[in-house]
Amino acid sequence: MDSLTPSKRQIFAGTKPIRLGIFSSSGSGKSHLIREILTNKEFGLHDKFEPDHVFVICPTLKLDTAYEEIKQSL
């Protein structure tokens, strides 16, 4: 990584609230991406959120088990 490219941890550094909108077709990996951002230590967010402070608005929320895995991992 060169000095002009921030690391994932630098991109998400700070204590301000994060809002993220992901729009894509069904089956394209949105749930996986959200899980990676919130739980992968490379991003530096795995220990910043209480599970009760993470809100996901999704019409198929009850059909996708990835979101339960996120709350369990936090």
pLDDT of residue 21: 84
Q: Are 42 and 9 in contact (CB under 8 A)?
A: yes
Domain ranges for the chain, please list them: 28-74
Instruction: Report pLDDT digits (tens) over 1-13.
Output: 567 888 888 877 7
Residue 54, SS3 per DSSP: coil
Q: Are 62 and 51 in contact (CB under 8 A)?
A: no
Between 44 and 15, the more confident residue is 44
Distance, in Å, from the CA atom of 62 to the CA atom of 54, rounded to the nearest integer, reads: 15
- Residue 37: other Cβ atoms inside 10 A: 19
Q: Are 31 and 39 in contact (CB under 8 A)?
A: no
